[in-house]
Amino acid sequence: MIRRLKTDSFKKPALVGGLLLVFVLGLANFPDFALRLYPDSFLDGQLRRIRRNTIRIQGRLDCAEATLSALDHVRENGLPHFHEGFSYPSETGEKQTTRRVKAQQTADYAELTELDYLRQRLGRLRKNDE
Amino acid sequence: MNGPSKGTPLRRLVIRVFAGAILCVLSAYALFTFLIYPFYGLRGFDREQYEAAIMKAAKDFAPSESLAVSSLIRSRFEALGENEDAYAWGSVSLLSPRGDRVYLWVSLKWYGSWHRWRRDSIFIMADPRDRLFYAESVLALGSFKKTIYAIQNYRRETLRQVREVLLDRNPS
C-alpha cells in the first residue's frame, strides 16, 4: 500500500527559496563574514560558547576525578552489594578501567587548554577592535 | 491505473489501533524522559540553593536503587553570567542496606529563562554494572553483546527513572 508521490503538487520555488535561505544564513554565520557583518555579537556568542564548553569540561574532569576515587574505594573494599540477587559482570578488567578513565581525563585536560587558548585569542581580538 | 489497496475495514481498524498505540507509547516515553523526569522534584529551589537541589536529586534517586543517602561529599557551582544559565555538580555518598558505601554523581543545570533546575546526569560512580568493569574483549566494538548490553542498560535506567518518580512520596 505504497502511495505514489504527488509530483505535481511539489512546491519547487519554496524548496529553492528554503535552500537559498539556509545557504545565506550559513554564510552569515561563517567567521569571515560574521566578523564584518556583526563583530560584537559574533564574538560575544563565541565567548559564551567557549565559556559553556569550559564549564562542561570542568564538570567532566571533576566527574573523572570522583570516579577514580570511587574506583579506589572499590579496589580497597570490593564491589558493593545493592540488593539480593544482584548480578555482577562476568569478566572484569580493572586495569583497563583505570586506564580508560585516566585517558578520558587527559583528553579533557587537553581540550580545556585549547579552550583557554581560544578564549585568550578572542579576548585579544576584542581588545584590538576597541 | 488502479488506486492503492486499502484492505478490509477490520484490517484498517486494527492497523490504526496498533499505530495509535505505538504513537501513544512513544509520546508518553518522550514526555517522561525529556520533560517530566529531568525537572521532577526540583521545583522550588533557587539558583543559589544548588547544594539543596543536588541533595534532593540524590534523595529521590537513592530509594530507586534500594540505597540511602549519607552525605554530600563535594559540590561546585559555575554560572555563565548573572541571571543566566548555570551548572552545578557534585558527588554524594550513599549506603547500601548491607552498609557498603556507594558514590553518586549528580549534575544539574539551571535554566535562567525558566528559573528551574534540571537533571543533566545522575549515576552511581564505579557501579558494578558499569561498562567500565567489563574487559574490552567482552564489549568490543561491533560486538552483538555490546548492543544487548547497551539496550539492557537503557531499559534498566528508564525503569529506574519510573521507579524513582513512583517511589517519591513527598514531592516538593
Segment B2-14, tens digit of pLDDT: 555 567 888 889 9
Would B29 be classed as within a structural domain?
A: no
Element (H, E) at B51: helix B50-64
Residue B60: all three cell numbers together: 529521590
CATH number of the domain enclosing B104:
3.10.450
Distance from CA of A68 to the nearest CA of B (A): 8
Q: What are phi and psi of A88, to 5 degrees?
A: -110, 160
Would B11 be classed as within a structural domain?
A: no
Q: B23: buried, middle or exposed (CB in 10 Å: 19+, 13-18, 0-12)?
A: exposed
The total number of structural domains that make up chain B = 1
Would B72 be classed as within a structural domain?
A: yes
Amino acid found at B15: I
pLDDT at A77: 81
Segment A94-107, tens digit of pLDDT: 666 677 777 777 77
Distance from CA of B133 to the nearest CA of A (A): 5
Tell me: pLDDT of A1 over 50: no
Would B99 be classed as within a structural domain?
A: yes
What DSSP string describes A30-94?
SHHHHHHH-HHHHHHHHHHHHHHHHHHHHHHHHHHHHHHHHHHHHHHH-PPP-STT----SSB-H
User: Who among A3, A55, A87 is closest to B78 (CB)?
Assistant: A55
Would B7 be classed as within a structural domain?
A: no
B16 band by pLDDT with thresholds 50, 70 and 90? very high
| Mean pLDDT for all residues in chain B | 87
With a pLDDT cut of 90, the percent of chain A lying above it is 11
Residue A87: all three cell numbers together: 548480578
Tell me: pLDDT of B161 over 90: yes
Q: Do A71 and B6 touch (CB under 8 A)?
A: no
pLDDT at B15: 93
Instruction: Report the C-alpha gap between B171 and B37 in whole angstroms.
Output: 12
User: Who among B67, B80, B87 is closest to A59 (CB)?
Assistant: B87
Predicted complex ipTM? 0.82
Segment A51-100, tens digit of pLDDT: 999 999 999 999 988 988 888 888 788 777 776 555 555 445 566 667 77
Would B106 be classed as within a structural domain?
A: yes
Would B82 be classed as within a structural domain?
A: yes
Q: CA torsion sign, B40 to B45 to B48 to B54?
A: negative
Contact residues, chain A, for B50 at CB < 8 Å:
none
User: Who among B87, B98, B128 is closest to A88 (CB)?
Assistant: B128
Q: Do A80 and B65 touch (CB under 8 A)?
A: no
Distance from CA of B42 to the nearest CA of A (A): 20
User: Who among B67, B91, B134 is closest to A91 (CB)?
Assistant: B134
Q: Are B112 and B87 in contact (CB under 8 A)?
A: no
Q: Among A44-48, B7-11, B22-26, which range has the highest average pLDDT? A: B22-26
Instruction: Report the C-alpha gap between A47 and A61 in whole angstroms.
Output: 21
Would B114 be classed as within a structural domain?
A: yes
Among the residue ranges A82-86, A96-100, B87-91, B105-109, the one predicted with the least confidence is A82-86
pLDDT at B172: 47
Tell me: pLDDT of A21 over 50: yes
- A75 touches B: beta carbon within 8 Å: no
Instruction: Report the C-alpha gap between B44 and B64 in whole angstroms.
Output: 22
Tell me: pLDDT of B27 over 80: yes
Q: What are phi and psi of B87, to 5 degrees?
A: -125, 140
Give residues 27 to 46 of A whose Cβ lies within 8 Å of B.
none
Segment B28-84, tens digit of pLDDT: 999 999 999 999 999 989 999 999 999 999 999 999 988 999 999 999 999 988 878
Q: Helix A39-77 crosses helix A94-129 at what angle (to 10 degrees)?
A: 160
Q: Which of B125, B105, B157, B138 is nearest to A101 (CA)?
A: B125
Q: What is the residue range of B111's domain?
A: 39-167
